[in-house]
């Protein structure tokens, strides 16, 4: 649901005591400025400040004794009205939930999904064109524009074409969510070369391709919000899922490095790490067997959902066996809003409490 809190740009701001005036509306990404007076927010952020360090030091006493500092207007704009977003892996699961949540916050959405088998040997059914169509219907139910594009995140030309289409149809691209992923299970020593390569190519290289496709446009506009969907398994080890864990740990490193590169250009990049979420990737016998192993139970050939729930509940921090996709999406939406314009290079755990077990 879209926040009813008015945009801070419509409210008066409190400037330094020596200079006050009525504030004009804030342009996108801009800091408040009144006449020739610069707000403390802008002054502290300006790189030029480093060049006048000696002058600042000469006024150190005044600066350190001043207690009433900062812009007092609340900057809590959670609306995405007028924004345009790209979401990979949008046909179902977490990607679908994110696409719909972005639309509910006001964004137009281009959903990108292979809608076919991404790799052999997967133990779950692939997404279909009908799944992507369903996402579109849910987005349009929020009265937002929708574009559905079938494509593979391993295909750089296809991603670039999707970005260009979004820019053409929506006029710009403000947001990108790198969500597409696959998962295999098995001991590392026994994992087929093809299976290892496919997990790394889809999950990690696909995320890097998404970044490389959207960043030129965002950097040219000096504005962008990018969120990579990693995993709780990118924050801890996971037996018999080394390829998936490696790809998700790699995504976090990719995010932190890229965020540093573009932070001064108005683009933020962050990660959200879901815990176990009820999606086709996890709602299948292969993943359920691993859940039994996690709980110290003997894996069975024909595992039932009820058996998995019973095995997980004793150690479930919030008392639920797994999350729903729509419970992950709000954290992603927040990181795409102007309320999070000072958040970059961060990892956000949406794990129903499982992150209390992480050591750092």
Tell me the catalytic residues. 244
Alpha carbon 13 to its chain's center:
30
Q: Report d(CA 300, CA 174) in Å as an integer.
A: 47
DSSP 98-148: HHHHHHHTT-EEEEEE--S--STT-SSPPP-HHHHHHHHHHHHTTT--EEE
Q: Report d(CA 201, CA 78) in Å as an integer.
A: 34
Contact status, residue 116 vs residue 154, Cβ threshold 8 Å: no
Query: Residue 248: CB partners within 8 Å, gap ≥ 6?
Result: 203, 230, 231, 233, 234, 273
Residue 9: which of 84, 24, 79 has the closest Cα?
24
The radius of gyration computed from the CA coordinates of the chain, to the nearest angstrom, equals 23
């Amino acid at each position: 649901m879209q926040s009813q809190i008015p945009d801070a740009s419509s409210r008066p701001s409190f400037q330094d005591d020596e200079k006050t005036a009525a504030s004009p509306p804030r342009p996108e990404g801009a800091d408040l400025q009144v006449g020739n007076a610069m707000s403390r927010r802008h002054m502290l952020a300006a790189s030029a400040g480093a060049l006048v360090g000696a002058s600042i030091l000469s006024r150190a006493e005044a600066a350190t004794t001043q207690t009433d500092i900062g812009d007092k207007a609340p900057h809590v704009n959670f609306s995405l009205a007028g924004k345009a977003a790209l979401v990979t892996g949008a046909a179902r699961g977490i990607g679908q939930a994110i696409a719909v949540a972005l639309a509910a916050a006001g964004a137009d959405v281009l959903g990108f999904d292979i809608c076919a088998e991404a790799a052999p040997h997967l133990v779950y059914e692939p997404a279909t064109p009908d799944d992507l169509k369903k996402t579109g219907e849910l987005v349009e139910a929020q009265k937002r524009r929708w574009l559905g594009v079938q494509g593979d995140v391993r295909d750089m030309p296809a991603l670039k074409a999707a970005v260009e289409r979004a820019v053409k149809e929506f006029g710009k691209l403000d947001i990108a969510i790198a969500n597409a992923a696959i998962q295999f299970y098995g001991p590392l020593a026994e994992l087929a070369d093809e299976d290892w390569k496919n997990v790394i190519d889809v999950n990690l290289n696909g995320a890097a391709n998404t970044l490389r496709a959207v960043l030129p446009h965002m950097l040219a506009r000096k504005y962008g919000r990018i969120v990579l969907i990693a995993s709780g398994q990118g924050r801890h080890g996971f037996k018999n899922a080394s390829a998936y864990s490696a790809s998700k740990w790699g995504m976090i490193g990719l995010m932190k490095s890229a965020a540093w590169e573009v932070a001064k250009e108005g683009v933020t990049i962050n990660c959200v790490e879901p815990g176990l979420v009820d999606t086709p990737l996890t709602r299948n016998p292969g993943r359920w067997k691993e859940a039994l192993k996690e709980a110290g139970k003997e894996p069975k050939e024909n595992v039932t959902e009820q058996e998995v729930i019973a095995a997980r509940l004793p150690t479930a921090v919030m008392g639920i066996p797994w999350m729903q996709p729509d419970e992950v999406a709000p954290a992603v939406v927040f990181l795409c809003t102007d309320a999070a314009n000072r958040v970059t290079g961060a990892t956000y755990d949406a794990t129903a409490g499982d992150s209390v077990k992480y050591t750092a």
